[in-house]
Structure 1
Amino acid sequence: MAALETILIWCALLGLCIGYYLVPYLITYSALRDIPAASRIAAFSNLWLAFQARRVRRSAAVHAAHQRLGPVVRIAPNHISIASTAAVHPVYGHGNGLLKSDFYDAFVSFEPGLFSTRDRAEHTRKRRMVSHTFSTKALGGFEQYIQQNLAVFVRQWNLKADNANGQFAKVDALAWCNYFAFDMIGDLAFGQPFGMLEKGKDIAELQLEPRGPISHAPAVYLLDKRGELNAMLGCVPALIPYAKWIPDPFFYKGLSGRLGVNAVGTARVTERLQRGTKSDRIDLLARLMEGKDDLGNSLGRNELISEALTQMVAGSDTTANSLCAVIYWTLKSPGVLQKLQKELDTVIPNHDCAPTFSQVKDVKYLRAVINEGLRMHSTNSIGLAREVPPGPGLEILGHHFPAGTVLSVPTYSIHHSKEVWGDDADCFRPERWECLTEDQKTCFIPFSYGPRACSGRNVAEMEMVLITAIMFSRYDFELYQDQWKLRDGFLNKPVECQIGFKKRYR
């Protein structure tokens, strides 16, 4: 009798599991059954996508599925990836009505920030309060702080070059890109750099409570682990409350990273708030404190912390990864460095004087090299998820997507599409930017697209233009690795980039 009861219990559990996956497949998402799935599991469960995120290779797995199955692929029961020009505007453009999916719930810290806010009205409110932070007028005031950090960068690299006695000084370019980007966002957002450039180390102050003791931790490492965990939990939001109970180093390292990043942001915001708005500093947090919504209300303290964290995360890792990609592909591609240096020499006659943004912002080949680096290595390579709102649904490429369907355009795949970029789409060729087609302009989305595109794009571009111009005009380089390894969390991050550099003489 006991054996029979055990069998019946197991049969019931099996039936529940089958029903849990089969019923949505047959009924709830029946309109999507004609779309090929990345795997048999993907049609029934989001576990396939979560597993790829856990392996830190989601964008590569989705890209491989598109290469096998075509431009429209089912990567979860109600999530369709569309690698086509035809999908960019309908999914991300103005006025389309699509909503952020529950993927973004994994990125909420204290409360939803501009990036993680899903409600359209609340997102509009927040964006209105934050947008003035990155206005053209504000941008002009930021350059002085970028130049100050560039001066520290150059001083440290000159010291390394001098110590190499005429040989190439060997460094990990990724590490130094991280030091610059984190110090830069610390300066712009909180009024002072983290000090990574001065120390030549990944180190930042941590304060778990506003009046608690101060310790130090590797902020870059913490941010990496946080991003990887959030990208995985975003695929299975139901796991978010239970992540701390999962006996897997991936989860507890990610949770530690999340806690550490929150602590860094909280400490910096607390310190900056104590200085108030009467400072001469024109930093992002001061701008955020000045922001008002339509009712004249300012951001609350938790909102300020959330937005400051958003700026810290968005303005550090993304810039570092993109800079590293530009360095790697410039050095790896024959003739590019020499052509870039020749052009820079015409606008920067004296290497000992740092160029201003106005001097180098319109240097065509410099811009082409940066854009091609952003295309080849999309630091956010996954497709940002959007949900079709209640109503008649949406039609793309002959497929009807009813309300509740999640759609995304995979950035890596669209940036490497041979239909868009030609047969040499996997080659680094800056010359392609001399004459772009309309499809290429539409499909270049390193900062996303539409009303939810990166609000800090102008600041990031200013940073990249200035540091790229200074690096390649002042130094000669060697590349010490033929291939680089990547870890694809929320951001597609290089593991390292080993190079050599020495002072350049003309």
Structure 2
Amino acid sequence: MADFSRPIASTLGQFDLTSWQGVGRLALAIIAFFIIRLGYTAVYNLYFHPLRHIPGPPLWIAINGLRSLYKMRGCLEFKYVEFHEKYGEVVRVNADEVAFIRPEAWKDIYGHGHAEFPKHFPGLKMDTKKIVFASSKDHFRYRRAMLPAFSDKALRMQEPLISVYVDLLIKRLREQSELNQPADMVRWYNFTTFDLIADLAYGTSLQGLEKGKSNAWLDNIGNLIKLLPILAFTGMFPLVGSALKFLAGPQIRNAEKKHADFTYKMTIDRIYNKAQPDRGDFMDFMLRSRGEDHEMKDDELASNADLIMLAGSETTATLLSGVTYWLLKTPHALKRVVEEVRETFNADEEITFDDTRTRLPYMAACLQEGLRIFPPLPLGMLRYVPDGPPVQIAGVTIPGKTQVSVPQFAAYHSELNFHRPNEFLPERWLPEAMSDPSSPFYNDRREVHRPFSVGRRDCIGQNLAMHEMRSILAKVLWNFDLTLDESSDNWHNQKILALWVKPPLQVHIKQRAK
């Protein structure tokens, strides 16, 4: 057998690790090895990889780590917008990843009618007791137990519970209006949504609105956002990640355990609190699975209640903040929606779930446009194509083991899908825009707009979220005249680290003249 070490040895000479010269030669050999390996990988990725037929940025395809660098910086989703503008609706954004902004990709990736594409969460530790991380079998069981908590019957029972916090928000904003200084609407929306979801999940308020200060969940989200760049970095450099985990691991694990113990105690207190039977909250409905095949155990209830707290609070508050900002930046839309709300209702008490759903079409269009221009979850939810024969996604042949997604921010800000995509134009969602060929929005591809996802793993709480948002926004607009403080004039220029990194939204609040 040929000795392949001879050419290398003859070039580098014999290593003597007791001398600086020997150490230098060893370092040179290691560097040469990595350069050759990097070059080989780049050539393979560009010219021989099964995805070579799909266009994309050559440097990103050749060097996998670039994606993670931009993710760490919070600008990855904005780069996707650029790539789709340059390369089209289907873009290879990494050696093994393809992003789609065609409407039909939603069904092909996330929908029914094919084997489920597994989720992919690079750099994240997954709690498989949470429904979003669960296996297909457990997901079906969890969803069956949880769905009744979000039914129309449940929503009717939950409306009085939710109204308590919406009315308390209005009371707090009245107090703010008397201070003659701008109020941070991000903060007040967060207090509202976290308080009401905590009541629905645990039967108790976090008292954010009562005390006007942060709570454990809000603090945890702030800490999570700070950790996301580190998680992206560790995903790119596993050795560095292992070192960081060794150094910071005990502190992170202690924080995780403290939070897990806290949420478990709240769950147990709610489950075995006999003073709150049949109140119609989440736990009330989920506990009805006890004794059935789809029964959820105490630890599963605790994990999913914790998930509901984040998914049902942060996203709703984000959307309300975004809609408020864009309305204040768009005078014609603000004037029209305020007139609609105030002409529809004669008193604050008349504003109900059913009426906000059926009698405020322009406000509904504003919320839809908010979900488009400022989606609460702006990234693509990665899936793996199962190993095996290639599949067709949006008319493109994709081999197994490929990561695929529909990046929401890029899809919603593409001129291929929406007319004037970077402007807040609620009119695009009105019936006449969809039926009148002369409308500039007639050809908008609205079917690409899926902020709650699709298929068996779509958002279980989307109806509740929409009821909350309609009720809160209607009451705020009915009661107050709002103007944007100049300090928040460019509020929408934010980083995206899975969640939006939202600065304060400073708004001047004035009680309307009756």
TM-score, with normalisation over the residues of structure 1?
A: 0.86
| Secondary structure, counterpart of 1:371 in structure 2 | helix
Q: Tell me the CA shift for residue 102 of structure 1.
A: 2.9
Distance 2:136 2:43 in 1: 29
Give unmatched runs, 5+ long, in structure 1: 205-218
Structure 1 residues 258 and 14: CA distance shift in structure 2, 3 A: farther
2:119 matched residue in structure 1? 101
Structure 1 residues 199 and 243: CA distance shift in structure 2, 3 A: farther
Q: Tell me the CA shift for residue 146 of structure 1.
A: 0.9
CA contact (8 A) 2:141 2:295 kept: no
Residue pairs, 1:169-184, within 5 angstroms: 169-184=181-196
Range moving further from structure 2, 125-134 or 474-483? 125-134
CA contact (8 A) 1:381 1:412 kept: yes
CA contact (8 A) 1:222 1:257 kept: no
| Secondary structure, counterpart of 1:421 in structure 2 | coil
Q: 2:378 aligns with which of 362, 366, 381?
A: 381
Range moving further from structure 2, 459-468 or 234-243? 234-243
Number of aligned residue pairs: 482
Distance 1:248 1:51 in 2: 22
Q: 2:489 aligns with which of 482, 487, 505?
A: 482
CA contact (8 A) 1:50 1:233 kept: no
Q: 1:344 aligns with which of 333, 341, 346?
A: 341
Q: 2:364 aligns with which of 367, 375, 379?
A: 367
Q: Is 1:409 aligned to residue 406 of structure 2?
A: yes
TM-score, with normalisation over the residues of structure 2?
A: 0.84
Amino acid at match of 2:160: Q
1:272 matched residue in structure 2? 270
Distance 1:251 1:80 in 2: 33
CA contact (8 A) 1:174 1:497 kept: yes
Q: 2:284 aligns with which of 283, 286, 298?
A: 286
Deviation sequence 1:258-314 (CA, Å, 0-9, x none): 566545533422332341596243221232232369x62521222112111110110
Q: Is 1:139 aligned to residue 155 of structure 2?
A: yes
1:70 matched residue in structure 2? 88
Q: Tell me the CA shift for residue 63 of structure 1.
A: 1.8
CA contact (8 A) 1:103 1:234 kept: no
Deviation sequence 1:67-126 (CA, Å, 0-9, x none): 2332222223211111222322211221232423331772524x4411122x32332222
| Secondary structure, counterpart of 2:196 in structure 1 | helix
Amino acid at match of 1:284: F
Deviation sequence 1:425-453 (CA, Å, 0-9, x none): 11111111113468633111111122211
Structure 1 residues 398 and 450: CA distance shift in structure 2, 3 A: closer
1:358 matched residue in structure 2? 354
| Secondary structure, counterpart of 1:74 in structure 2 | strand
Q: Tell me the CA shift for residue 30 of structure 1.
A: 1.2
CA contact (8 A) 1:376 1:416 kept: yes
Give unmatched runs, 5+ long, in structure 2: 1-15, 435-441
Structure 1 residues 6 and 263: CA distance shift in structure 2, 3 A: farther
| Secondary structure, counterpart of 2:386 in structure 1 | coil
Structure 1 residues 350 and 403: CA distance shift in structure 2, 3 A: same
Residue pairs, 1:438-457, within 5 angstroms: 440-457=445-462
| Secondary structure, counterpart of 1:335 in structure 2 | helix
Deviation sequence 1:301-348 (CA, Å, 0-9, x none): 221121111101101110110000010011110222221121112321
Q: 1:40 aligns with which of 51, 55, 59?
A: 59
Q: 2:421 aligns with which of 422, 425, 429?
A: 425
Q: Is 1:200 aligned to residue 219 of structure 2?
A: no
| Secondary structure, counterpart of 2:182 in structure 1 | strand
1:319 matched residue in structure 2? 316
Structure 1 residues 20 and 103: CA distance shift in structure 2, 3 A: farther
Deviation sequence 1:33-59 (CA, Å, 0-9, x none): 2333446144342x2222222112221
2:463 matched residue in structure 1? 458
Q: Tell me the CA shift for residue 62 of structure 1.
A: 2.0
Deviation sequence 1:344-377 (CA, Å, 0-9, x none): 12321123x2511112212101101111111110
Amino acid at match of 1:500: H
CA contact (8 A) 1:477 1:502 kept: yes
Structure 1 residues 301 and 95: CA distance shift in structure 2, 3 A: same
1:115 matched residue in structure 2? 132
Amino acid at match of 1:468: L
Distance 1:470 1:113 in 2: 34
1:505 matched residue in structure 2? 513
Amino acid at match of 2:450: I
CA contact (8 A) 1:231 1:490 kept: no
CA contact (8 A) 1:356 1:466 kept: yes
Amino acid at match of 1:311: I
Q: Tell me the CA shift for residue 486 of structure 1.
A: 1.6
Distance 1:361 1:412 in 2: 26
1:215 matched residue in structure 2? none
1:394 matched residue in structure 2? 391
Structure 1 residues 374 and 297: CA distance shift in structure 2, 3 A: closer
Deviation sequence 1:171-208 (CA, Å, 0-9, x none): 0111111111111111111111110011111124xxxx
Residue pairs, 1:298-309, within 5 angstroms: 298-309=295-306
CA contact (8 A) 1:37 1:43 kept: no
Q: Tell me the CA shift for residue 384 of structure 1.
A: 0.4
Distance 1:134 1:248 in 2: 42
| Secondary structure, counterpart of 1:476 in structure 2 | strand
Q: Tell me the CA shift for residue 398 of structure 1.
A: 5.2
Distance 1:39 1:277 in 2: 63
Identical aligned pairs, as a percentage? 25
| Secondary structure, counterpart of 2:459 in structure 1 | coil
Distance 1:250 1:330 in 2: 43
Distance 2:255 2:96 in 1: 30
Q: Is 1:88 aligned to residue 71 of structure 2?
A: no
| Secondary structure, counterpart of 1:30 in structure 2 | coil
2:439 matched residue in structure 1? none
* Structure (1 or 2) with the larger CA radius of gyration: 2
Structure 1 residues 183 and 248: CA distance shift in structure 2, 3 A: farther
| Secondary structure, counterpart of 1:106 in structure 2 | coil
